[in-house]
Amino acid sequence: MSALAMKPKAQMGQTEIVARVVDVNKSFGTLQVLKNINLEIHKGEVVLLLGPSGSGKSTLLRTLNVLETIDSGEITISDELMGQRVTAKGLRPLRESRIAEQRRRTGMVFQQFNLFPNMTALENVAAGPIHVEGKSKREATAAAKELLAMVGLPDKGSNYPIHLSGGQQQRVAIARALAMRPDIMLFDEPTSALDPEMVKEVLETLVNLRRDGMTMIVVSHEMSFARAAADRVIFMDAGEIVEEASPADFFDNPKTERACKFLGQLV
């Protein structure tokens, strides 16, 4: 059966492709972690990336954000000039300015929030625009205030991370990523480190982002979110994309033994 059985919604319309991954391979030493990965993410699409621990989900997100280089293949974000390309002829040199631009276009949110502990929430959100993009402090701060309001934290700007709950810290981290006006947001288990009562507020933020048209890849095992907010599920196992389907098809009617086994282990 074709792993691409479900047509992405863009094939039916004219949606542009925001991220394209072509024949990407990546090894750590002798362990091949990404095996010939091919992927197209369309504008406004929310893709849920699922798979057992160690299947390569984080590594895939990290290559999109250039936190990892690839061994071969090609990754582009929004246009052909932006990204990593490695061919038989070798690595196309990635200029620092290109790496910075690709990082700007791919907003990454980690399991462990990773806020700057010595900065307030507002300073965390404004830091990228000021220090990376050279925006004025005034302009960056005004934008940061709007973003904090958008993630439901209009009155927490002067709090340091230590004085915010985990759910609030994660929402600041989302606002910080949004401050760089990314083309795509990459979420790597954004709620796994949170107490159950805080999971909802973070997932609601993702749902709001989706409603605003943000393109996203989300690694999450939150099934309610997956069913309600994902346009497409991509299931990885041992470095390969094994299945690709709508959430309803994937959860109710998985096609491969590996997906059945994975779903059987989820509680």
Complex with ligand ADP: residue 69 or 253, whichever CB lies closer: 69
Residue 76 touches Mg ion, criterion: CB under 5 A: no
- Mark 181-210 with x for binding to Mg ion (rule: CB under 5 A) and - for no binding: ------------------------------
Complex with ligand ADP: residue 48 or 130, whichever CB lies closer: 48
Q: Which residues pair with 257 in a beta bridge?
A: none
Shortest Å distance, C-beta 118 to ligand ADP: 27
Q: Which does 53 bind (CB under 5 to 8 A by kind): ligand ADP, Mg ion, none?
A: ligand ADP
Short-list 93, 102, 75, CA closest to 20:
75
Complex with ligand ADP: residue 27 or 165, whichever CB lies closer: 27
Q: What is the 3-state secondary structure (H, E, C) of 119-162?
A: CCHHHHHHHHHHHCCCCCHHHHHHHHHHHHHHCCCCCCCCCCHH
Total of residues contacting Mg ion (CB under 5 A): 2
Shortest Å distance, C-beta 55 to ligand ADP: 4
Whole-angstrom distance between the N-terminal and C-terminal Cα of the chain?
27
Shortest Å distance, C-beta 152 to ligand ADP: 28
Complex with ligand ADP: residue 113 or 148, whichever CB lies closer: 113
For Mg ion, the binding residues in 11-70 under the rule CB under 5 A are: 57-58
Complex with ligand ADP: residue 128 or 254, whichever CB lies closer: 254
State the residues that interact with ligand ADP by CB under 6 A. 28, 31, 33, 51, 53-59
Q: Which does 84 bind (CB under 5 to 8 A by kind): Mg ion, ligand ADP, none?
A: none
Complex with ligand ADP: residue 201 or 240, whichever CB lies closer: 240
Binding residues for Mg ion (CB under 5 A): 57-58
